[in-house]
Amino acid sequence: MALIRRSPAFSYTGTALVTGASAGLGVAYAEALARKGMDLILVARTAAPMEELAARLRQETGVAVTVLPSDLTDRTARAELVTEINERGLLVDVLVNNAGFGTKGDFATLDPDRVVREIELNCVVLTDLARQFLPGMLERHRGAILNIASTAGFQPWPTMSVYGATKAYVRSLSQAMWSETRGTGVRVLSVCPGATDTEWMAKTGAPDMLPNRRAPRQVVESTFRALDRDQPEVVDGVVNWITGHVATLAPTRVKLPIARMYAKE
Ligand SMILES: NC(=O)c1ccc[n+]([C@@H]2O[C@H](COP(=O)([O-])OP(=O)(O)OC[C@H]3O[C@@H](n4cnc5c(N)ncnc54)[C@H](OP(=O)(O)O)[C@@H]3O)[C@@H](O)[C@H]2O)c1
């Protein structure tokens, strides 16, 4: 008897909602899902890059792309977005919960409003959208939720404290959801990129941090491989996997100074 049951490859059909689709990893996910034949709903605050991406993907792949600009941290706007998607009769088969940002600096110096927005986007928005769209997936017995966490979620991260904590939340939530949805036809995946070459660093306020970066395309490839295997979590890149898991096992007094040094890179 096989101890590990092999999952069938994931079936990329229907519509994928990608948040944070105006830049970075969101663009890479949108491009890759369109190439797999999925229709798209693109969400971020800035419309122009999403309109450009939509026009290009319609032309290159023939998929339908709907652009719905929204500030997801605005709870009214977020509720309107969900209503709009439902009223247009769009069924979300794959949710890529990707929009997120971090803030560099010691906790006591952080802008309090920004801290609240960071937690709202990285945790509350991700949770709310998953809660809104999971029941439909369960009714249809198919679909996937890809929650973009981070290797920052493997250990506390001095000077990126709030960000690390939000990503630990995403890992925990996603893995529990993976367990709860076993056997339903719906897959949930915690995706943990390490340093990746996007605008993310510049937006944290530390553009030169973590210079050894992987490409967004590599993160997407790791994601699709893990989704096909129905893993609960994937860490992109072997080095990131090793450092993430060593950090998990290391005693707190050892891992905190190392994490602090890492943040200075
Ligand atoms: N790059 C890395 O090294 C790295 C590593 C691990 C994990 N991650 C995670 O990967 C995800 C994607 O990050 P990225 O690297 O692609 O960063 P990015 O290039 O800065 O893109 C972030 C995206 O989120 C959107 N966004 C920000 N605030 C928003 C809001 N209030 N409402 C709606 N959309 C909003 C941005 O669009 P607008 O500004 O137009 O709204 C943009 O499309 C994030 O969750 C990040 O934490 C990144």
Write the pLDDT tens digit of every residue in 112-141.
Answer: 999 999 999 999 999 999 999 999 999 999
**C-beta 71 within 6 A of ligand 1:** yes
- The pLDDT of residue 22 is above 80: yes
199 CA from centroid of ligand 1 (Å): 8
Q: Return the pLDDT at 19.
A: 99
DSSP β-ladder status, 15-19 and 233-235: unpaired
pLDDT, one tens digit per residue, over 44-54 is 999 999 999 99
pLDDT at 1: 47
**Which atom belonging to ligand 1 lies closest to the Cα atom of 101?**
47
Q: Contact 60/34 with Cβ under 8 angstroms?
A: yes
Per-domain boundaries in the chain: 15-264
CA–CA dist 109, 103 (Å, integer): 11
Task: For the domain made up of 15-264, give the CATH fold.
Answer: Rossmann fold (3.40.50)
Alpha helices in 21-125 (DSSP H): 24-35, 47-61, 75-87, 112-119
Q: What is the DSSP pairing of strand 39-43 with strand 65-67?
A: parallel
Across 182-201, average pLDDT: 97
pLDDT value at residue 260: 85
Q: Determine the number of helices (DSSP H) and then strands (DSSP E) in the chain.
A: 10, 7
- Neighbour count for residue 251 (Cβ, 10 Å): 7
Question: Ligand 1: which atom is nearest the Cα of residue 99?
Answer: 24
255 pLDDT tier (thresholds 50, 70, 90): confident
Torsion of CA 245, 249, 251, 252, to 10 degrees: 50
Strand order in the sheet with 15-19: 65-67, 39-43, 15-19, 92-97, 143-148, 186-192, 233-235
Structure-block tokens of residue 103 = 């803030």
Sort 50 into a burial class: Cβ within 10 Å, 0-12 / 13-18 / 19+: buried
Residue 170's closest CA among 129, 211, 210? Answer: 129
